[in-house]
């Protein structure tokens, strides 16, 4: 099966970029032909190409249509679906908050996938029928992340494993809490610190306790580390067998982070470390989050979706163009003023009642936002859809009533 996988970026070693890499390589091992598309290429794209997976930033270079579109992120997904409107697609939601993870509706999308309960809620709240959603939780490539021989009796080394970690009070608080709990060595890896690594599997076994969330928490737990589910300003606590099921249903993600970082609370969580329970968590996660088991489910889903291609052949061209118009209308409403969008987000961040959200972190976040807007407005997909936005503005906007909007 020829599977076209879309993503908003294939540059940095981060969340969905690595998801694309792992799925693409797993497809190749099973004899399929994955192709990756993104409007922004970089290190992960190079890794894919080196592993034999074609990577494109211009779909006009794809001579044969795919059999199925595995779609991440609505803008890049729509580029692919508009290019191949009669190819069945499955749209994934990897985040309950990011703008690029918002669901899009297009006739060729025959099914949706949520990676946790929070993403499932986002899809249903946007109008997706529950029976059109499959939950496929985060997986770990167990061949890349082997299990350590044994867990340390007492924790001695800790790692903050997050692309959002940055210098400031939050990180210092973690260091102080670790020292009080007897952990004298604390390292940090992530883009925010300029210490990101392409192969975390090579270093995770050095650490007894890992501060992480989401995919990073899964990977750390799979190696046998104790995981304190946390980010730069909030935390959930020590991942134990008692809370494993509920927290994993939320992807060890933002919905679990209900506490503000406080030194005494962190010390208490570190001191709850029990090697036997760490092992129980690891063994359960390795049973339930194995990449190959997840790929079995994904391939079954692919086959079911691909079987719906005949229905798409019966649809008229007008059905697809009408859906594209609706999408562009919503997109134009959000993106007509990128500067206003950036200002609004800056104001929202400034209003957060969180003393640990430092100036350094705000500047880093705004830099990422401004970079995203620059990439958006100079991307291939933005240039291609420019005539459509202009046409819509001329035809629709003059008749739009003035006054407050309800969206």
Cα–Cα distances (Å) from 178 to 189, 208, 276, in that order, read: 16, 12, 21
Q: What SS3 state is found at 93?
A: strand
**Does 147 fall in a domain?**
no
Same domain, 9 and 125: yes
Q: How much is the average pLDDT of 222-228?
A: 97
- Is the distance from CB of 174 to CB of 211 less than 8 angstroms? yes
Q: Is the dihedral of CA 87, 34, 287, 207 positive or negative?
A: negative
**Does 93 fall in a domain?**
yes
Residue 132 in this model has a pLDDT that exceeds 70: yes
Cα–Cα distances (Å) from 391 to 61, 75, 85, 158, 329, in that order, read: 26, 19, 21, 56, 11
- Is the distance from CB of 250 to CB of 135 less than 8 angstroms? no
Q: How much is the average pLDDT of 291-315?
A: 93
Same domain, 131 and 164: no
**Does 296 fall in a domain?**
yes
Q: What is the pLDDT of residue 298?
A: 97
Same domain, 58 and 90: yes
**Higher pLDDT pick, 343 / 131:** 131
Rounded to an integer, what distance in angstroms lies between the CA atom of residue 143 and that of residue 118?
28
Res. 369 pLDDT band, cuts 50 70 90 = low
Q: What is the pLDDT of residue 314?
A: 85
DSSP state of 122: H
Q: What SS3 state is found at 259?
A: strand
Same domain, 7 and 129: yes
pLDDT in tens, 59-100: 999 989 999 999 999 999 999 999 999 999 999 999 888 888
Residues above pLDDT 70, as percent of the chain: 82
State the CB neighbour count (10 A cutoff) for residue 353.
Answer: 6
Residue 226 pairs with which residues in a beta bridge?
Answer: 209
Shortest CA distance to 173 belongs to which of 267, 97, 106, 87?
267
**Does 326 fall in a domain?**
no
What token pair was written down for 74? Answer: 């609505």
Same domain, 134 and 209: no
- Is the distance from CB of 84 to CB of 37 less than 8 angstroms? no
pLDDT in tens, 160-173: 998 877 777 888 89
Rounded to an integer, what distance in angstroms lies between the CA atom of residue 303 and that of residue 294?
14
**Does 366 fall in a domain?**
yes
Q: How far is CA 277 from the centre of its chain?
A: 28
Same domain, 272 and 302: no
Same domain, 275 and 215: yes
**Does 294 fall in a domain?**
yes
Residue 133 pairs with which residues in a beta bridge?
Answer: 112
**Does 340 fall in a domain?**
yes
Same domain, 277 and 295: no
Same domain, 46 and 100: yes
Res. 194 pLDDT band, cuts 50 70 90 = confident
Same domain, 309 and 259: no
**Does 302 fall in a domain?**
yes
Structural domain boundaries, residue 31: 2-139+290-316
Q: Is the dihedral of CA 239, 242, 246, 249 positive or negative?
A: positive
Same domain, 301 and 380: no
Same domain, 232 and 345: no
Count of structural domains within the chain: 3
Q: Looking at the whole model, is its pTM more than 0.85?
A: no
3-state helix, strand, coil in the chain (%, to 5): 50, 15, 35
């Amino acid at each position: 099966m020829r599977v076209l996988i879309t993503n908003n970026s294939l540059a940095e070693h981060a969340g969905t970029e690595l998801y694309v890499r792992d799925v693409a390589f797993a497809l190749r091992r099973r004899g399929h032909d994955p192709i990756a598309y993104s409007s922004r290429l970089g290190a992960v794209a190079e890794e894919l190409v080196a592993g034999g997976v074609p990577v494109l930033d211009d779909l006009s270079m794809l001579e044969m249509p795919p059999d199925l579109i595995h779609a991440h992120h609505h803008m890049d997904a729509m580029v692919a679906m508009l290019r191949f409107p009669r190819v069945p697609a499955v749209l994934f939601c990897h985040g309950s908050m990011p703008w690029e993870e918002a669901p899009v509706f297009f006739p060729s999308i025959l099914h949706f996938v949520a990676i946790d309960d929070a993403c499932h809620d986002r899809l249903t709240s946007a109008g997706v029928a529950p029976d059109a959603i499959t939950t496929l939780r985060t997986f770990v490539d167990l061949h890349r992340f082997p299990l350590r021989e044994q867990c340390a009796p007492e924790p001695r080394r800790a790692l903050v494993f997050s692309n959002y970690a940055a210098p400031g009070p939050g990180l210092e608080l973690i260091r102080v809490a670790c020292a009080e709990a007897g952990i004298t060595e604390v390292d940090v890896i992530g883009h925010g610190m300029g210490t990101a690594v392409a192969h975390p599997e090579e270093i995770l076994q050095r650490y007894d306790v890992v501060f992480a969330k989401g995919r990073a928490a899964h990977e750390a737990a799979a190696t046998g580390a104790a995981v304190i589910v946390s980010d730069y300003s909030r935390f959930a606590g020590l991942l134990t067998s008692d809370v494993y099921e509920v927290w994993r249903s939320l992807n060890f993600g933002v919905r679990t982070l209900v506490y503000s970082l406080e030194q005494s609370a962190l010390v208490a969580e570190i001191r709850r470390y029990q090697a036997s329970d760490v092992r129980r968590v690891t063994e359960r996660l390795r049973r339930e989050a194995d990449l190959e088991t997840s790929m079995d489910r994904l391939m079954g889903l692919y086959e079911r979706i691909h079987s719906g291609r005949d229905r798409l052949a019966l649809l008229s061209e007008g059905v697809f163009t009408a859906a594209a118009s609706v999408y562009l209308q919503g997109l134009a409403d959000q993106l007509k003023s990128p500067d206003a969008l950036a200002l609004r987000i800056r104001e929202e961040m400034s209003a957060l009642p969180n003393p640990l959200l430092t100036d350094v972190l705000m500047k880093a976040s705004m830099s990422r936002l401004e970079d995203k807007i620059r990439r958006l407005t100079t991307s291939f997909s933005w240039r291609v859809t420019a005539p459509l936005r202009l046409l819509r503005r001329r035809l629709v906007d003059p008749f739009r009533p003035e006054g407050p909007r309800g969206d």
